[in-house]
Structure 1
Amino acid sequence: MWLSWREATQAALYGETGFFLRNSPAQHFRTSVHASPLFAGAVSRLLHEVDLALGEPDPLDVVDLGAGRAELLCGLAALAPGGLADRLRLTAVELAPRPEGLPAEIGWRRDVPQGITGLVIANEWLDNVPVDLVELTGQGPRLVLVDPVSGEQRLGGPPSAADLDWLARWWPLTGVGDRAEVGAPRDAAWAEVVRNMSRGVAVAVDYAHLRGARPAGGTLTGYRDGRQVRPVPDGATDITAHVALDACAAAAPGRSFLTTQRVALGALGVVSAPPSAQLAATDPAAYLRELASAGEAAELLDEHGLGGFGWLTQFVATFPKLPYRMTQ
């Protein structure tokens, strides 16, 4: 049976026996949330800035899209000072069942709530929104089809007119054999999230690329058991592709800007400088703690790894002065 990559990925990730309904993401890939509690600390500082900009609303929403086992929300709850903690309304959006033992104050639902006032975080969420894969041939663009059991691929018919329009605007194919992922479903998903907000800030953090620097061969790949593998939409493999965050930004209402995780986290207080040698002599235990923290920070800020992720920040009916800014 031959399917488009979007159809095959939808079934493989979100079908009745799909990858995200049967697996904990942390078992298969490492996100910034799992890499270090410093990430939750940075998001906590961002939340504080958003709270002040909104006039300290009650409740103050924090919605985590693709929340996994709500590790980030648990971290934010632990870091919030008393006055803020009393106003927080924490919501995990995830298709998998609610984990056992999750604190009762963290809500759990399958869809994005409406009327959000506060902060939305989509950390490595958009890359798992299924998309079609297109290849340029001598006869024009053609959909790439896949056998969901073997992962074998072959070419099908031409993409829809809407997809051709998206490619022309956001990912022009110039050489025969070039491939692109059609990001229109991600644009629509992000726009819906933003429209569900009343006031606040939405942040998408993901593998990303921008128009003018799209990879000629596309980025579709798989992850299983912590390793990058050949993409096979069999339900046992995470299927992912980098995100055209500039297209997502243009599709959603409101002001937005793009930067990198390295810039954003650095401005939010994540520092990778090692502790002084003098501390090792005066307080060895503190030196080891700070050394471990510096190592974790270095991983979060690595421009060739997590630090190279794109950060899309979208404002809804408010324009808080955030500590990080757009970079070219």
Structure 2
Amino acid sequence: MDTALYGEHGFYRRGERPAHHFRTSVHASDVFAEALLSLLAEVDAALGHPDPFDLVDMGAGGGELVSRLLSLAPAELAVRLRPHGVDLSPRPADLPGRVEWSDTPPDKITGLVVANEWLDNVPLDVAELTPDGPRLLLVDPATGEESLGGPVTGEDAAWLERWWPLRRPGDRAEVGRPRDEAWASVVSRLAAGTAVAIDYAHTSPADRPCHGTLTAYRDGRPAAPVPDGSCDITAHVALDACAAAGEAAGAAETTLTTQRAALMSLGVTGRRPPLDLARTDPRAYLTRLSRAGQEAELIDPHGLGGFGWLAQSVPPR
């Protein structure tokens, strides 16, 4: 998975933009960026309006989110923003000059980190339970043929036992320890502020699917997760395990919820405008109706609204 996504000829090393292959909340509507701007303002106030205020976009892809937040920020906040896109892809040609771009986050962050659909692309191993215990799943990158490899041992075995215990032969699990470590690395860089992970997720051992979630996308359609570099390979994130790793890395406050609940708390309701407005101001009615549709998509519990949101904060010291 690591080679297929990030190797010399990997999917993301080629400069692929996620928007060309799958739809995220960022690409669905500007309402998403507007809601995150409200969150950014809340964090800014809680930190006492620091200068500079770091805005870090993990897995920034084409840089759409960090660019939009920069353009939406009011002047007083924009002048203090230090925007930073983090991705292994090359710097987008149309990225605003103010936005820093690197393959690792800053060592010290005071502000807000947003990781929208980043953790699901952190490479991991898949394990399958056999009568002799969990064994690694191997996939031939040329044919997609699956076979079983060696046993799962050490820290990975301990992770499975704690977070995704397998019960019946044939059951599969994605070993999420690399995601925990990646998230902990982000939280540990917070001098003060909040880090938010937004992703396809399951949030308890009872919630884990018995055959795992590994899948792939190519040109906007689901594809077989063959690690040949031609597709985006992804798997849902055990956000409860990431939360525990974040707390171990220094997070003092943790909120684990859904995108629907999080966005509604930020003012995204999907509420339709009153019909009377259609008679008195048809243009305004259509504008508000369009926005209501965009909001509804973002908070749909069976779609984007069902995503997990993990927010962890480190207070000023």
Q: TM-score range by the shorter chain?
A: over 0.9
CA displacement at 1:18 relative to structure 2: 1.0
Per the alignment, residue 304 of structure 2 pairs with 306
Alignment of 1:182-193 (within 5 A): 182-193=175-186
Distance across 2 between alignment mates of 1:161 and 1:124: 28
Which ranges of structure 2 fall in alignment gaps of 5 or more residues? none
Structure 2 residue aligned with 1:60, among 53, 57, 66? 53
Distance across 2 between alignment mates of 1:77 and 1:215: 38
Structure 2 residue aligned with 1:276, among 274, 277, 287? 274
Per the alignment, residue 219 of structure 2 pairs with 225
Per the alignment, residue 231 of structure 2 pairs with 237
Structure 1 residue aligned with 2:99, among 96, 100, 106? 106
Which ranges of structure 1 fall in alignment gaps of 5 or more residues? 1-8, 320-328
Secondary structure of 2:12 counterpart: helix
Distance across 1 between alignment mates of 2:10 and 2:316: 38
2:129·2:171 contact (CA, 8 Å) conserved in 1? yes
Distance across 2 between alignment mates of 1:257 and 1:101: 34
Structure 1 residue aligned with 2:118, among 118, 125, 131? 125
Distance across 1 between alignment mates of 2:165 and 2:94: 48
2:259·2:307 contact (CA, 8 Å) conserved in 1? yes
Report the residue type matching 2:218 in the other structure. R
CA RMSD of aligned residues (A): 1.1
Secondary structure of 2:311 counterpart: strand
Report the residue type matching 2:234 in the other structure. T
Distance across 2 between alignment mates of 1:194 and 1:96: 22
Q: List per-residue Cα deviations over 1:97-133 (Å, max 9, x = no partner).
A: 1111321111111111111000000000000001100
Secondary structure of 1:67 counterpart: coil
- Alignment identity in percent? 61
CA displacement at 1:33 relative to structure 2: 0.4
What TM-score does the superposition give when structure 2 sets the normalisation length?
Answer: 0.96
Q: Do structure 1's residue 261 and structure 2's residue 254 form an aligned pair?
A: no
Distance across 2 between alignment mates of 1:239 and 1:145: 15
Q: How many residues align?
A: 311
Secondary structure of 1:273 counterpart: coil
Secondary structure of 1:272 counterpart: coil
Report the residue type matching 1:179 in the other structure. R
2:191·2:316 contact (CA, 8 Å) conserved in 1? no
Report the residue type matching 1:136 in the other structure. L
Report the residue type matching 1:295 in the other structure. G
Structure 2 residue aligned with 1:166, among 159, 164, 170? 159
Distance across 1 between alignment mates of 2:239 and 2:201: 6
Per the alignment, residue 97 of structure 1 pairs with 90
CA displacement at 1:318 relative to structure 2: 4.6
What TM-score does the superposition give when structure 1 sets the normalisation length?
Answer: 0.93
Secondary structure of 2:114 counterpart: strand
Distance across 2 between alignment mates of 1:72 and 1:192: 22
Distance across 2 between alignment mates of 1:266 and 1:90: 26
Distance across 1 between alignment mates of 2:141 and 2:168: 27
Distance across 1 between alignment mates of 2:228 and 2:290: 38
